[in-house]
Structures are given as structure tokens and as C-alpha cells.
A and B are shown apart, each in its own frame.
Chain A
Amino acid sequence: MRSQLSESTIKHSPIFLTSISIPLRGSSRSSSAVHHSINMFSLAHQPRDMACPKSAIGEDSHCDVCNKIMCREHYDDPAHTCGYTLVSLSSRCFSPADLVRGFSLVRDGYVFQRSRFQDLLITDKLPATLADLDGEAIARRIADLRPDAPFKVIMPRTFEETLDLSGGFNMHVEVAFEDGVQWLVRISKYGKGDGPVDLWRNNLESEALTYKLLYDHVIPVPVVHDWGMGEFSKTQSSSTYWIFALMDRSSLSTYHL
């Protein structure tokens, strides 16, 4: 499992030196059908320990095994007993040879964690997001955005249907208007307690404004009708949502150029 990727990493030493393990994670990404749209930074969307403000820091304070984001103190805390070997290695000082070995372990750890992580997203996050989703709130918002246009919110009925329109971190609900217009509601799968709300709000706002700027310059991007945080959640979680105009359904396919 380790061979190909870890070797190519070591050969590309500039990447190794400056970007640490992030490109490794990205590089194995496209192999997964379900996770075709994972953004490498989206790992930071995983549940955080909100009791500890240091959890605002992203990837590297993330325990690959128990899938929690934590600070060094919490990571090394005896109460953190997920038992993976990396925990005991973390306090050691490495020689360059150890370092290579250490990163091989990280790679293996990631491979191990990756499959577990996928399981978690699919088995835990998706049903939880679906149960938290407020269909009536979606319908109210759609009616506000396009008054006097009858429509139907097509909520996924089964787990398989949900999975069908689901990426690594987002799920989608289709909206069909009677006049043929289709919209797509994109809802992030993370729930309550996913890190500082203002951080996600900044990120969300930046993305929305970028879409608008690009659209104004006639770049092909989806039309964003609305975006926000928490409104479609029964528990007012910090889940983000987008409402896009759905282009032709066939255009939803993507290519790995």
C-alpha cells in the first residue's frame, strides 16, 4: 500500500520540504469515486473539540485514527487513547533517516485513516446530516427567492439516493420548478461544533463574492441564488448551504484532465 506514493514523495524533495504531507493527501484523492470533489483543505471541516480554542488550527492537529482535531496537549493527553503508534512517536526528535520512516508511517497512517475516514463520512455524517436537514426551511427559502413559481423540493428518500448526489463533504437536494427550471441546494455535511463559525462564514462569503465577480466577467460558473449558514438545519448547526441554478443535468459530470 505504501510503496508508490511514499517513494514518489521522497523523490520530490522540494514538495516534501515545504508542503509537508498535504500534497500526499491530495495526490491519492482522485482514486476515490465517492470523494471526487474533496478539497484538500476540507479536512478541516471535521468535528473539532470546541472546548479547546486551539482546535482552530487545521490539518496537522488532526488525529488520523480517532478523526478528531485537537491541540498538542489534547493529542498527547493520556485520555487520548486511540493507541496508534504515531502517538508515541510524536514526542521524539527525528534524524533525517527517521524522518523518512516517520513520514512513511504517516502515509500508512493516512491510507489506514483514509478508508476509515470515508466510512465515517458515509455511515455517520450523511444520515446525521439528512436527519438534521429542515426540508420546510428549504421550501420557505425557495419560495422567497422565486415567488409565485410552483416547485417541488426533491428530498432524497433513501440512503442510496442521498449518496447519489453526494460528494465527500457536501450533499445535494434538487429543486424542480413547474416551469422546468431546476435548482440545486448544496449542503455541507458537517454539523454542530465544527470549528469557529466566523472562520467558515468568512470562507463562505469569500467564495460567494468570487462566484459573483467571475459571473460578472462572463466566466462559466454556476449562478448562486443564495448562500448561508445554519438556516436549513433543525439544530441551527453551522452547516453551510448554497443554492445554485442547476445547469443541464448532463453537465454534472466532471473530467480528470
Chain B
Amino acid sequence: MSREDMKVLVDDFADISVKISKIPCDVIGSLCSDDTGEAVWGPHLNGGYTESLEAPYFGGPFYTLRDRYIHRIDSLIDLTKKGLIHRLAPLFHYLALMEARRLVMADPVMARLESTFYIRHPDCSGSNILADGNKITGLIDWEW
């Protein structure tokens, strides 16, 4: 691909990203369907570790970054304590997570109640961007 074509492709990607950022989204969460089949924002499916052993497996939706990260950190602490993750160095990870928890709790920006969020691709690497020449034709792999 020529330098010019690559520039067109990157500009195209930037335009699409701006468009995605304008799609209304008022929580930190993932889409699920309600009883009537309507799409609603539900628990934040956050890949890697599931956060509990039973459904719904993940917490949320959240309205502050603090809630979102504290939930994640606390579930990781819980799983570490149970010996399910971080088996190599549980004490180190426990302490690191406690420190992360302290930092999150101390941050006023994280505590701010937000009403505007945006949709983020969970794995936005080039291999998930389909293109035809210098034109992006599809963004794929929106799981988690």
C-alpha cells in the first residue's frame, strides 16, 4: 500500500471513529436485551477474567469511573484471595490491587457522575479492520 493510500485509510478510520463517538451512550456497560427484546445497556462484559463464578459474571452498568474500576479491582482481589488467579505471586498482586484501589478512591475525577460515554472497540487492531484498497469496508470483532 502506498503512503498516500495509507493516509486516506487512516483518515477514513478517524472519520469513522468520530462518528462512533457520537452514538448516544449514557452508561459504562454492554448491550443486552430486555424482556421485550429491546436493546438496553446491561452489565459491563469486560473480557479477560469473568468477575464471578455465577451469572451474570460481570458487574454494571456503571455511571462513574470509580464504580467501574472499584468493582473490577474488588473482584480481582476476591479471585486472587480465592487462589483462582495470579497464582504465581498472589501477595504481590494483592498489594498492587490494593494500591490501585487506593488510587482510584483518591481521584475526584473518577468519582464524577457522568452522563455521556462513548462506544469503544474492545480490540481495535488492524486485523479487525476490513478494507478494500484505501477504503474501510468493515469493523469486526465487537465481542466483550
Contacts and interface: CB of A to CB of B under 8 A. Distances in A.
Main secondary structure of the interface of A (DSSP, over half): helix
Given A247-B138, A253-B131, A106 B48 contact: no
Contacts of A255: 1, 9, 126, 129, 131
Contact of B88 (A89, A196, A214): A89
A199 B132 contact: no
A90 B83 CA distance: 10
Contact of B49 (A58, A93, A196, A205): A58
A54 B127 CA distance: 32
B119 to A, nearest CB: 8
Given A202-B57, A207-B143, A214-B20, A221 B39 contact: no
Give chain A's interface residue range (CB within 8 Å of chain B).
35 or more
B139 interface: yes
B83 A247 contact: no
Interface in B1-26: 1, 9-10, 13, 16, 19-20, 23
A71 interface: yes
A11 interface: no
B71 to A, nearest CB: 15
B79 A57 contact: yes
B81 to A, nearest CB: 11
B113 interface: no
A257 to B, nearest CB: 4
B111 interface: no
A12 interface: no
A199 B45 CA distance: 9
A131 B76 CA distance: 39
A203 interface: yes
B107 interface: no
B138 A220 contact: yes
Contacts of B16: 219-220
B101 to A, nearest CB: 12
Interface centre among B54, B84, B139, B144 (most CB of A within 10 A): B84
A206 B29 CA distance: 10
Nearest to A86: B88
Given A17-B96, A217-B19, A218-B19, A57 B85 contact: yes
A250 interface: yes
Nearest to B51: A57
Interface of B: 1, 9-10, 13, 16, 19-20, 23, 30-33, 39, 42-43, 45, 47-50, 52-57, 79, 82-89, 91-93, 96, 100, 119, 122-123, 125-132, 136-144
7 closest residue pairs by CB, A with B: A41-B47, A256-B126, A72-B83, A209-B31, A60-B85, A251-B132, A251-B137
30 contacts: A18-B96, A36-B127, A39-B122, A39-B144, A56-B50, A57-B84, A59-B49, A60-B86, A60-B87, A61-B87, A86-B88, A96-B92, A99-B89, A202-B32, A202-B45, A203-B45, A204-B143, A207-B142, A210-B30, A214-B23, A218-B19, A219-B23, A220-B137, A221-B139, A222-B130, A250-B132, A251-B130, A255-B1, A256-B127, A257-B126
